Amino acid sequence: MREVVSVRNVDFRYNSDNVLSDISFEVSRGDYLGIVGPNGSGKTTLLKLILGYYKPTRGEIEVFGKKPENLKERDLIGYVPQITAGKIVSFPATAKEVVLMGLVSQKKFPKAIRREDEKKAEEILEMMNMVDLKERMVGELSGGERQKILLCRALIHDPELLILDEPVTALDPESRQEFYLLLERINREKEVTIMMVTHDTGEIGNYATKLLYLDRRVIFFGSLENFCQSEEMTRFFGEYSQHIICHRHDRRPWLS
Amino acid sequence: MVELIKEPFVIRALLCGLIISIVLSGLGVFLVLRRLSLIGDGLAHVSFGGVSLGILLGRFPIYVAMAISVLTSLGILKVKKIAHIHSDTAIGIVSSLGIASGVILSSLAGGFNIDIFSYLFGSILSVTDTDILISTIFATIFLSYLFLFYNDLLSTTFDEELAYAEGINVDRINAMLAILTGVTVVLGMKIVGLLLVTSLLILPAATSLQISRNFKATLFLSMAFGALSVILGILLSLVLDLPSGAMIVVVNFGVFLLTLLFPGGKPVSAN
């Protein structure tokens, strides 16, 4: 199984604060990793380290076998950041313009957007049932619709690794289910590796195959089955919290 | 009025104003959306120091100001990145330092004189053929940059972190934007003066943002509003015998007020 992300003994300090200590884990092709943990546990920082936005104070990170800052094949990664609603609301771009931004880095100079690119953007929007909104300005969309637009932007260049930072926060329960099922389909059918930071512990257990519980250090990393069967984790989290993650809900039939 | 327009100094002022306004109002869209609206003010204040230094040295005040403005613009970018401070704080720091050094240097140069005032408030009478040539060359560089890097600029302005994650050379795009801003602010002082140059960066962009329905339209409309305001402002200043820089700002603000009357122009979140 091909290694997609490898994090070895990583520390990250910000000023004098130890944000992350001795983080080690590996993500293989086709994994669906849920990253959970309390606020301030370093989840978003970890994603930014993997993306090369920050450099580790100690340790090594490899993405597709290369240091993140040296990874030229950036189209292998699709990234959906935490939604910055304030800025996006006032940004004068249409939904389609935002989706097309996802193609910019892989295009050759002078990076002109062509008719086939626009067609591809429309196909992705169609897949998300968003094509009717393509000419709407992003500020006129709801939080959930904006989140889907950012997912379309991440998917338009056919990434092999999809990194998502709390993507379902702005979604209502129905859109949330729809979003999870879509990710699951992308993960299974296209074997896209998924790493998702989420606070939605009630749902992540339904979809993720692996779990990383972070609290500035790795509390747990492994398969969901191991997490659910681990007595150590029961002692650490308590039965109730473990049950929230491990309990599998019935999926709504009309969505699946 | 028609006779006045035929005067060579008016033609030079209109031409130079038109060229510079297109560049300033185009750049303004990116700066306003990046929450860097006041960088023009900061750079203008620093340029005041540069102009004063040039006058003190008795050599090329505009080019001294341009060099200092570009270095400061790049410095703001660097400080913002390294020191993790907000851009308004970085701009505030250089802005006050610029004014302070300007006051000290102009005092050493023999106090405030007519030269300094023409840089502070603009002087369309002083626009030379060389100014037009430099502005044209610079506008060509700016428009080429815009054409060649449009999508990188758009993506970086939308979200720097996301653009970086997708492989865009964010540092290079930002550095180029900083250099262009540093030069344009100084070029703009001939037309509206250092104290009012920010208006040409902010007002056309803010006006355009009220009514545009996509990014390209925002950019083109901003340039159009900037050009319209400068032409109208200069002509009105000649007719009414009022300072041209101030008239350009008044016209700019008038256009901004007009666009506020457009119903539903500004996007409203569906949340």
> Which chain B residues have a beta carbon less than 8 Å from that of A172?
none
**Superfamily of domain A3-83+159-246, CATH level 4:** P-loop containing nucleotide triphosphate hydrolases (3.40.50.300)
Across the interface, whether the CB atoms of B268 and A97 are under 8 A apart is answered no
- Give B125 or A56, the one with higher predicted confidence: A56
pTM above 0.80, yes or no: yes
How confident is the model at residue A96, as a pLDDT? 95
pLDDT for B264 beyond 70 = no
Across the interface, whether the CB atoms of B158 and A101 are under 8 A apart is answered yes
> What span, in angstroms and rounded, lies between the C-alpha atoms of A144 and A135?
17
- State the amino acid at position B74 in one-letter form: L
> Which chain A residues have a beta carbon less than 8 Å from that of B208?
92
Please provide residue A23's backbone torsions phi and psi, each rounded to the nearest 5 degrees: -90, 125
> Which chain B residues have a beta carbon less than 8 Å from that of A49?
none
Across the interface, whether the CB atoms of A110 and B148 are under 8 A apart is answered yes
How confident is the model at residue B51, as a pLDDT? 85
Using a CB–CB cutoff of 8 Å, tell me whether A219 touches chain B.
no
How confident is the model at residue B107, as a pLDDT? 81
> Which chain B residues have a beta carbon less than 8 Å from that of A135?
213-214
Q: Is the ipTM of this complex over 0.90?
A: no
Q: Is A244 helix (H, G, I), strand (E, B) or coil?
A: helix
> Which chain A residues have a beta carbon less than 8 Å from that of B268?
139-140
Domains and CATH numbers, chain B: 2-258 (1.10.3470.10)
Domains of chain A, residue spans: 3-83+159-246
Across the interface, whether the CB atoms of B158 and A75 are under 8 A apart is answered no
Instruction: Give me the tens of pLDDT residue by residue for chain A, a chain 256 residues long.
Output: 578 999 999 999 987 888 999 999 999 999 999 999 888 899 999 999 999 999 999 999 999 999 999 998 898 999 998 876 667 778 899 999 999 999 988 888 778 888 999 999 999 999 888 899 999 999 888 888 888 899 999 999 999 999 999 888 777 888 888 888 888 889 998 899 999 998 887 778 888 889 999 999 999 999 888 888 888 878 777 777 777 777 765 554 444 4
| Mean pLDDT score across all residues of chain B | 86
Across the interface, whether the CB atoms of A104 and B159 are under 8 A apart is answered no
Question: Given A81, A107, A140, which is nearest B267 (Cβ)?
Answer: A140
Across the interface, whether the CB atoms of A104 and B158 are under 8 A apart is answered no
**Cβ-based neighbour number of residue A67 at 10 Å:** 13
Across the interface, whether the CB atoms of B269 and A113 are under 8 A apart is answered no
Report H helices in A102-216.
115-127, 143-155, 173-189, 201-207
Mean pLDDT of B38-63: 85
How confident is the model at residue B81, as a pLDDT? 74
Using a CB–CB cutoff of 8 Å, tell me whether A76 touches chain B.
no
Bridge partners of residue A137, in order along the sequence: A94
> What span, in angstroms and rounded, lies between the C-alpha atoms of B71 and B49?
13
Using a CB–CB cutoff of 8 Å, tell me whether A48 touches chain B.
yes
**Cβ-based neighbour number of residue B86 at 10 Å:** 11
